[in-house]
Amino acid sequence: MPASIPPGDPQQVRDLFDRIAPAYDRLNDVLSLGLHRLWKRQAIAWLRPAPGQRLLDLCCGTGDLALVLAEKVRPGGLVLGLDAAAGPLELARQRARMQPWLPLEFRQADALATGLSDGWADGAVMAYGLRNLADPALGLQELRRLLQPGGRAAVLDFNRPENGSGFTAGFQRFYLRQLVVPLARRAGLEPQYAYLEESLRRFPRGDQQEQLAAAAGFAQARHRLLAGGQMGLLQLVA
């Protein structure tokens, strides 16, 4: 396996996403056959965004979810996208400039220490972010703190299969090693994408995510499998 970036190191993770930012959206479309849009739609469906709401997109990257949500909170609402890395945020801002009517802001911030007040948000999403945080349990605590009581959150990410030798885990390994890494190599981003498998190794399984969310104070937490168990959607109510 190629040398990868160590997961959980905030500086190195930030550098990684700065490095892949220009290729990220294209590779995402190719590697998921565009299906990431479908999974993101499922996250939004759980959130039930409504006009006037204040919503957060944590680890927003190039702003896929924030842009869709901003359309849905009009009129009167606001979507704030936060990301630790400047590169993806610059692309998110460029995309937002194409639709200047959207109530949308992007800020550089760590999802573990956003600096926002308690209950700032009516709802929140985090797509493919939790796995990258130095401590996912702290990420869920910060997410809970930021939500109004009753507020919903959707946390979308790869699923770490329970049975490491089962079909789902085998398919995931094949997908990551035989498809993702070789394609990333062609884009000159092999270690950056080898990181994906490393980060999954330390990522809590679905049932563990539910427990961490309950410990963080969420009233409801349910981890739903998507894409035949390749992806997971943690559906939360504060």
Ligand X SMILES: C[S@@+](CC[C@H](N)C(=O)[O-])C[C@H]1O[C@@H](n2cnc3c(N)ncnc32)[C@H](O)[C@@H]1O
Chain contacts with ligand X (rule: CB under 6 A): 10, 13-14, 17, 59-61, 64, 82-85, 88, 110-112, 127-129, 132-133
Q: For residues 68 and 221, which CB has a smaller minimum distance to ligand X in the complex?
A: 68
Q: For residues 41 and 76, which CB has a smaller minimum distance to ligand X in the complex?
A: 41
> Closest distance between ligand X and the C-beta of residue 222, in Å?
20
> Closest distance between ligand X and the C-beta of residue 49, in Å?
16
Decide the pairing of beta strands 220-226 and 104-108: unpaired
> Closest distance between ligand X and the C-beta of residue 32, in Å?
10
The token pair that represents 171 in the structure block: 């398919």
Residues 6+ apart with CB under 8 A from 85: 14, 15, 17, 18, 21, 108
> Closest distance between ligand X and the C-beta of residue 133, in Å?
5
Residue number with the smallest Cβ distance to ligand X? 61
- Give the separation between CA 172 and CA 168, rounded to whole angstroms: 6
The token pair that represents 218 in the structure block: 């969420």
- Give the separation between CA 226 and CA 58, rounded to whole angstroms: 20
Decide the pairing of beta strands 220-226 and 231-237: antiparallel
> Closest distance between ligand X and the C-beta of residue 36, in Å?
7
Q: For residues 132 and 159, which CB has a smaller minimum distance to ligand X in the complex?
A: 132
Placement of tokens 């979810």 in the chain = 65
Q: For residues 6 and 76, which CB has a smaller minimum distance to ligand X in the complex?
A: 6
> Closest distance between ligand X and the C-beta of residue 61, in Å?
2
What is the b/e burial string over 212-223, where b = at least 16 CB atoms within 10 angstroms of the residue's CB?
Answer: bbeebebeebeb
From residue 210, how far is each of 129, 133, 139, 181, 230 by CA, in Å? 16, 17, 13, 30, 17
Q: For residues 78 and 127, which CB has a smaller minimum distance to ligand X in the complex?
A: 127
Q: For residues 149 and 201, which CB has a smaller minimum distance to ligand X in the complex?
A: 201
